[in-house]
């Protein structure tokens, strides 16, 4: 059965969440949980440098991010996830083996969120189906 993927903002309560917030996963790793949330969250988190560049480009106000700035971030995140897939295949295979997941990140605007990029544009290419934002 293929993985069914939902998305939601951080704080959403569901037993199937996978948090891809970099800061959250770094804290979980520091607390002794290798791989971050559920053992794999870190492998799907946008790199801290990538996040920093995104914020700098839009003057630290995501509501001012232009379409071109978003597209640059989108492309860079997809590239980062391709690299993660090659380096951390076990984490990807683990995620794809689940029946359902709710990918959670900090951004409140789903169309311009790494959770949506992962859920709607990356995971379906690997056999998952995107079922929308909760």
DSSP calls for the chain: -PPEEEEEETT---TTEEE--HHHHHHHHHTT-TTSGGGTGGGGSPPHHHHHHHHHHTTT-GGG--HHHHHHHHHHHHHHHHHHHHH-HHHHHHHHHSSEEEEEES-S-GGGSHHHIIIIIIGGGGT-EEEEE-
Percentage of the chain exceeding pLDDT 70: 100
Mean pLDDT of the region 79-83: 98
Q: Which pTM was predicted?
A: 0.94
Confidence of residue 63 (pLDDT cuts 50, 70, 90): confident
Mean pLDDT of the region 96-100: 98
Confidence of residue 108 (pLDDT cuts 50, 70, 90): confident
Confidence of residue 109 (pLDDT cuts 50, 70, 90): confident
Mean pLDDT of the region 19-47: 94
Domain ranges of the chain: 4-133
């Amino acid at each position: 059965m293929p993985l069914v993927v939902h998305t939601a903002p951080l704080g959403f309560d569901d037993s199937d969440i996978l948090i891809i917030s970099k800061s959250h996963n770094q804290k979980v790793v520091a607390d002794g949980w290798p791989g971050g949330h559920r053992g794999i969250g870190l492998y799907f988190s946008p790199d801290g440098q990538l996040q920093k560049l995104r914020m700098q480009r839009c003057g630290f106000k995501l509501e001012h991010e232009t379409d071109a700035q978003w597209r640059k971030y989108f492309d860079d995140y997809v590239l980062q996830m391709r690299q993660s897939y090659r380096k951390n295949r076990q984490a990807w295979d683990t995620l794809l083996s689940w029946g359902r997941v709710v990918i959670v990140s900090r951004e409140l605007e789903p169309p311009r969120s790494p959770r949506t990029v992962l859920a709607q544009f990356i995971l379906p290419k690997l056999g998952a189906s995107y079922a929308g934002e909760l």
